[in-house]
Amino acid sequence: MARGIPVRIISASGDEATDGTVKAVKNLDQFGGVVYENENTASADTARRFETSAKKLRDVVIRVATNNQLFGNAANQRYPVNVGETVSFSKVNVSTLYFKNATAGQNGTVNIIGVEE
């Protein structure tokens, strides 16, 4: 039977991790994070976003609930997503994701759910 090599784990603060700390980190990695959920309805045809400051999410699902939308970044929103369709990301800083009405005057509603990093 192979034996493991002893490893010391040091935190960013310089503290040595205990077995309990290592187990807690493993559990956090498996089931960590808080569910993030948000909804946004356009009030104009300009590009908008869910968050104005950094918000890192994983396992993100975005669904267009009403009126087709265009997704992209701050400079361009070209990716069409129609009503009832979803867009998924494994990891994204949601503050960098912009969306707007695909058709002027047809204010759409967009829902998002993910896990905060």
d(C-alpha 69, C-alpha 103), whole Å = 8
Q: What is the average pLDDT across 100-105?
A: 98
Mean pLDDT of the chain: 86
CATH number of the 35-116 domain = 2.60.120.10
DSSP per-residue codes, 9-39: -B-TTSPBPPHHHHHHHHHHHHH-S-EEEEE
Percent of the chain with pLDDT over 70: 73
Domain boundaries, the chain: 35-116
